[in-house]
Amino acid sequence: AQPRKHLPVVFLWDYEYILIMIVFAFTNGYLTNIVMINSTRMVEMHEREKASSVIATMLSVGLTVGAAVGMLLVRLL
C-alpha cells in the first residue's frame, strides 16, 4: 500500500538481530524461571498452590498483552 514509510536501519547485519533475540530469549526464560521458583518459596505452605496459579496467570496475561502491543506497534510503524 502506498505511501510507504521507511524507517532507519538499526541493525546492518542479520546476525546482530539474531544475537539480540537469542539474548532476550535466554534472559526472559531465566528470569521467568527464577520468579516461578522463588514466588512459591516466599508464601506460606498452605498458599503455595494459589500463588503458583496467580503467577502462571499473570505470566500468560503479560505474554498476551506483550504480543498484542507488538502487533499494534508493527501496524503503527
pTM given for the model: 0.69
d(CA 15, CA 54) in angstroms, rounded, equals 37
Kindly tell me if the per-residue pLDDT of 12 is higher than 60.
yes
Kindly tell me if the per-residue pLDDT of 46 is higher than 70.
yes
Read off the pLDDT of residues 57-73 as tens digits, 9 standing for 90 and up: 999 999 999 999 999 98
- Give the CA-trace dihedral at 35, 40, 44, 47, to 10 degrees: 110
